[in-house]
Structure 1
Amino acid sequence: MTKITLMHNPRCSKSRQALALLEEKGAPVAIRRYLDEPLSDAELRALIERLEGGVERLVRTKESEWQKLAADARDPEQVVQAIMAHPRLMERPIADDGKRAIIGRPPEDILALLD
Structure 2
Amino acid sequence: MPSEFILYHNNRCSKSRAALALLQARGIEAEVVHYLDTPPDLATLESIFQKLGLASARDMMRTKDDLYKTLGLGNPDLDNDALLRAIAEHPALLERPILVHDGKAAIGRPTENLEALL
TM-score with structure 2 setting the length: 0.87
Number of residue pairs aligned between Structure 1 and Structure 2: 113
Percent identical: 40
Q: Give SS of 2:15's match.
A: helix
Confirm whether residue 56 of structure 1 aligns to residue 58 of structure 2: yes
Q: Give SS of 2:28's match.
A: coil
Give ranges in structure 1 of 5+ residues lacking alignment: none
Q: Which residue of 2 aligns with 1:75?
A: 79
TM-score with structure 1 setting the length: 0.89
Distance 1:94 1:69, change over 3 A: same
Q: Is the Cα–Cα contact under 8 Å of residues 5 and 31 in structure 1 kept in the other structure?
A: yes
Partner Cα distance (1:49, 1:11) in 2? 26
Q: Which residue of 2 aligns with 1:19?
A: 20
Partner Cα distance (1:43, 1:78) in 2? 15
Partner Cα distance (2:7, 2:53) in 1? 15
Partner Cα distance (2:102, 2:38) in 1? 18
Confirm whether residue 104 of structure 1 aligns to residue 108 of structure 2: yes
Give ranges in structure 2 of 5+ residues lacking alignment: none
Distance 1:30 1:105, change over 3 A: same
